Structure 1
Amino acid sequence: MTLTSGRFISHEYDRMIVRFSMHDGTREIPCAVSTSAMDDLERGPQVKPEQREAQFTRLRDRIEARAASKYRATEFEGTPPGIVLRGIDFRP
């Protein structure tokens, strides 16, 4: 159960999330991270919607590491089941 990087899917302004995927072998795992969690990770002002993909890219290693932890713990949500990351997931 080792996850590898997938793809950036989209920034959903209405839901305030960034959707991305990761892979477990050939299986694609849907994932999302809240934009507020990304802003908290950067400890700066909220970025503009058109800057979310670049922000995700800067934070990708940290986001994917936490997604992998939740995957190993089988903390899935939604339909289809996926990984959802919020600010609380990045707190020590």
Structure 2
Amino acid sequence: MTLTSGRFIGHEYDRMIVRFSMHDGAKEVPCAISTSAMDHLEGGPQVRPEQREAQFTRLRDRIEACAASKYRATEFEGTPPGIVLRGIDFRS
């Protein structure tokens, strides 16, 4: 169960998340991260909606490492099951 990078899907302003995917072989795994978690990771002010994709790209390695960890721990949420990352997932 090793996840690899997938695609950036988009920023959902109403839900305050960024959706992306990762792959377990040929299987696409839906993932999301809260925008507040991304802002916390950068340690700066909240970015504008049109800057979310660039922010995700800057943080991609850390985000995907956390998603892979939750995947290995089988911490799935929602229907269809996927990985949801929040600020608490990045605390030491």
TM-score (norm 2): 1.00
Corresponding residue of 2:7: 7
Gaps of 5+ in 2: none
TM-score (norm 1): 1.00
Residue 66 of structure 2 aligns with an amino acid whose one-letter code is: R
Deviation, 1:82, is 0.0
Which runs of structure 2 are paired with 1:1-92 in the superposition (5 Å)?
A: 1-92=1-92
Deviation, 1:7, is 0.1
Gaps of 5+ in 1: none
Structure-2 separation of matches of 1:11 and 1:26: 24
**RMSD, matched Cα:** 0.2
Structure-2 separation of matches of 1:23 and 1:42: 25
Identity, % of aligned positions: 89
How many corresponding residue pairs? Answer: 92
SS of 2:14 mapped into structure 1: coil
